[in-house]
Chain A
Amino acid sequence: MLFEDNDFDINMAFFIPDLSISRHTNILNPTEGFLKGNMFQDEYEPYKNFTYFKLNPKDEKERLLYQVMALSFAINDLNLYLDLHPDAKEVLDLFQKYVKDEKELRAIYVKKYGPLEVTEVTSNKFNWIDSPWPWDSKGGSMYV
Chain B
Amino acid sequence: MFKYVKYTNYPINIKKKDLRMAKYLITQFGGANGELGAAMRYFSQKFSMPDDYGKALLNDIATEELGHCEMIASMVHQLTKNATIKELEEAGLGGMYTEHGKGIYPTNSNGVPFTVTYFAVTGDPLAYIMEDMAAEQKARATYENLINLTDDEDIIRILLFLRQREVVHYNRFKELFMYYKKKGY
A interface residues, Cβ below 8 angstroms from B: 8, 11, 14-17, 19, 34, 36-38, 40, 43-47, 50, 52-53, 55, 65-66, 68-69, 72-73, 76-77, 79-81, 83-84, 115-118, 133-135, 137-141, 143-144
Contact = CB atoms under 8 A, between A and B. Distances in A.
Contacts of B57: 80, 83-84
B168 A116 contact: no
Contacts, number: 137
Given A50-B156, A140-B15, A143-B17, A134 B60 contact: no
B73 A135 contact: yes
Interface stretch (B6-14, B23-31, B113-121): B6-14
Contacts of A52: 157, 160-161
B149 interface: no
Q: Is the interface of A mostly helix, strand, loop or mixed?
A: loop
Contacts of A69: 7, 9-11
Contacts of B8: 134-135
B179 A116 contact: no
Given A73-B9, A117-B6, A143-B82, A37 B147 contact: no
B12 to A, nearest CB: 7
A87 to B, nearest CB: 12
Q: B interface, how many residues as a size bin?
A: 35 or more
B114 to A, nearest CB: 19
Interface string B146-182: 0100000100110011111101110110111111011
Contact of B81 (A76, A117, A137): A137
A37 B159 CA distance: 10
Given A65-B7, A84-B53, A143-B16, A37 B168 contact: yes
A65 B8 CA distance: 11
Contact of B7 (A19, A37, A45, A134): A134
Contact of A15 (B5, B70, B178): B178
A44 B168 CA distance: 8
A53 B13 CA distance: 13
B99 to A, nearest CB: 21
B7 A68 contact: yes
A144 B174 contact: no
A144 B79 CA distance: 7
Nearest to B171: A43
A72 B73 contact: no
A144 B4 contact: no
